[in-house]
A and B are shown apart, each in its own frame.
Chain A
Amino acid sequence: TQLLEQSPQFLSIQEGENLTVYCNSSSVFSSLQWYRQEPGEGPVLLVTVVTGGEVKKLKRLTFQFGDARKDSSLHITAAQPGDTGLYLCAGGRTSYGKLTFGQGTILTVHP
């Protein structure tokens, strides 16, 4: 079983602070996706990274895929209350589009 370890599990910060969420595995994934989930809703895709070393930016969010494709990080600059939510990383396996999800990081940004 390919496992994804996500850290930290909880993050509570003030508006304007920076933060990084990590997603690590001992296995290589073909791709890594980051989803965001709000209470009472399903996850929504933020980004997909597929190449080792790849960096993608989405406004104040920066996503990186490790060179060996075993880890990824999500960095948020100047967090805002609207960033509050559950962030999930998901590693792509090779068949039928199946994903392995990390445990999730609950982010709370206080005004």
Chain B
Amino acid sequence: DAGITQSPRHKVTETGTPVTLRCHQTENHRYMYWYRQDPGHGLRLIHYSYGVKDTDKGEVSDGYSVSRSKTEDFLLTLESATSSQTSVYFCAISDSDRIVREQFFGPGTRLTVL
């Protein structure tokens, strides 16, 4: 199994509070991705990183920011959490930008915003 951990695994927070989710990898992979998973929507890309300090927006980036200060860590921040951001968040890593390469997923973080 690829060495990917996500923390916390579960979090309940209140509307308007900031939240940071952490993705940590031990594979030294260059590419990292944050997705959210909601019923009926599959997985949707929030932000991705193609190197240290190199990040870009995905298809559902509003209300989210990311940072990657070192290869192994990719942080996702909800600046002011809203109920619409209640979801399961997955981090994924890849060693290549070639689209035939596998993305390895973490175990997910279940976030509830009350």
Q: Which A residues are within 8 Å of any B CB, using their own CB? A: 1, 4, 6, 9, 30-31, 33, 40-45, 48, 50, 88, 90, 92-104
| 4 interchain residue pairs of minimum CB distance | A42-B105, A92-B99, A101-B42, A101-B43
> Is B70 engaged at the interface, CB distance under 8 Å to the other chain?
no
> Is B7 engaged at the interface, CB distance under 8 Å to the other chain?
no
Question: Chain B interface residue count: which class?
Answer: 20 to 34
Closest B residue by C-beta to A92:
B99
B45 touches A103 (CB 8 A): no
Binding site secondary structure of chain A: loop
Q: Which of A31, A42, A92, A96 contacts B106 (CB 8 A)?
A: A42
Q: List, sorted by A's number, 27 A–B pairs whose CB atoms are closer than 8 Å.
A: A9-B40, A33-B102, A41-B107, A41-B108, A42-B104, A42-B105, A42-B108, A43-B43, A48-B100, A88-B43, A90-B43, A92-B99, A95-B97, A96-B31, A96-B48, A96-B50, A97-B96, A97-B97, A97-B99, A97-B101, A98-B33, A99-B43, A101-B35, A101-B42, A102-B42, A103-B40, A103-B41
